[in-house]
Amino acid sequence: MTNLLTQSAVERLNSPLARRVEFHDEVASTQDLALELAHAGAPHGTLVISRIQTGGHGRLGRSWGSPPGGIWMSIVLRPELEARYAPRMTQAAAVGVAKALHEIGVEARIKWPNDLLVEGKKICGILAVGGPAARREKTYQTEFVILGIGLNANLDPSDLGVSVEQAATIRSVLGHDVDLLELLDSLLSHLEHGIRHVKNFEPILRDWREFNCTLGERVRVRRSGQDFEGLALDLNPHGALRVATETGTIDLFEGEIEYVRPHSGDDGSE
């Protein structure tokens, strides 16, 4: 028998990332709601989760289909983190999601910066948005980070309003549905572990390298109106992607990448 995902069931998980739970049947966007709550002083570990989102969105304002059956959630984090380490949060979260998925047999890979893919199709998107930075002693600290996770679980790729070539779901990968409460429990505990290691980043970096599908790829980078190509070399200690380009090596703290597949014939084939 599967557990129902309800406010009290989520509260009973007793996760430090769900100290305060806002469970909804329907909201426009858990991310927007969590952001409002954070500005109003919501504590670390405020979890906003909804069965449906009517205005879910991802990076660069793209819309994010959120019908019933997925895990659509945003967490208010107050990690006392230097603002320059903020990109690490996305990578720590990506590792956490990858671990939770591998545990149930879904071999997802991390595509920098914030996607989890199964056989090239997106199964989860991560949206980490930093709040204002405030000066503390000699550094600038992010007051809060809203960590948004959209995980396609018990639904069909065709429910998502994007091309089925682009999307995967747990149901499409495993051929059956999973217990969403158990999945959320595991997800929160892996995320909590990742977030705890955001300052001492080495273990996350190691796991990220193991789970990624970006390093060693030729990538086309889109960053602030600039397009260029290069070879993805590594993740640097701050969570930035190190890319070798014709004019030198750069560290990408933000941006979009596309894999450059060899054209047919490049490898000698037709």
Binding site for ligand BTN (CB under 6 A): 29-31, 53, 56-59, 62, 64, 66, 72-74, 114-115, 125-127, 148-150
End-to-end CA distance of the chain: 52
Least distance from ligand BTN to the Cβ atom of residue 49, Å: 8
CB of 93 to ligand BTN, least distance (A): 11
Closest to ligand BTN by CB, 44 or 111: 111
Smallest gap from residue 60 Cβ to ligand BTN (A): 7
Cα 197–Cα 201–Cα 202 angle in degrees, nearest 5: 120
Nearest partner of 214 among 237, 235, 236, 238, judged by Cα: 235
Cβ at position 76, least distance to ligand BTN in Å: 12
Between 44 and 57, whose beta carbon lies closer to ligand BTN?
57
Helix, strand, coil percentages, rounded to 5, for the chain: 30, 35, 35
Range 56-86 burial, b when 16+ CB lie within 10 A, else e: bbbbeeeebbbbebbbbbbbbbbbebbbebb
- If the CB atoms of residues 30 and 141 are measured against ligand BTN, the closer one turns out to be 30
Nearer to ligand BTN, 131 or 148 (CB): 148
Q: Minimum CB separation from ligand BTN for residue 236, in Å?
A: 22
Instruction: Estimate to the nearest angstrom the gap between the alpha carbon of 153 and the chain centroid.
Output: 14
User: Which residue's CB is nearer to ligand BTN, number 64 or number 208?
Assistant: 64
| Angle, helices 202-211/86-103, rounded to nearest 10 degrees | 50
Query: Is the separation of the CB atoms in 113 and 101 below 8 Å?
Result: no
Where do runs of H (alpha helix) occur along 50-163? 86-103
Rank residues 58 and 203 by Cβ distance to ligand BTN and give the closer one. 58
Residue 180 in 3-state DSSP? Answer: helix
- Structure letter (DSSP) for residue 254: S
Least CB distance to ligand BTN at residue 37 (A): 13
